[in-house]
Amino acid sequence: MSGSNVWSRSRERLRVFPELLAQCADEAAVYGKCVAATTTGNQELKKDLCAKEFEALKTCFTNAEKKEAKVNNRI
């Protein structure tokens, strides 16, 4: 297996990330606010404190990526 394929896939994911983030701006903002709220002062972020918000963001990214793939395959 060639290592260049790994780098090509990584570059492609990074290339489309800004587009996906723009499509998931609301979910990203909600997740960011949750993280910020749970880490005020000297508190550390603990696993699963923002799990619901993270899952919503993850689902949004997955759906946006699928939409992007459909658009790219039509061209």
11-37: pLDDT as tens digits: 888 888 899 999 999 999 999 999 999
User: What tens digit of pLDDT does each residue of 37-59 get?
Assistant: 998 888 888 899 999 999 999 99
Q: Per-residue pLDDT for 66 more than 60?
A: yes
pLDDT of residue 71: 76
Percent of the chain with pLDDT strictly greater than 70: 91
Please state at what angle helix 3-23 crosses helix 25-38, rounded to 10 degrees.
90
**CB of 68 closer than 8 Å to CB of 32:** no
Domain ranges in the chain?
A: 3-72
- pTM for this model (two decimals): 0.76
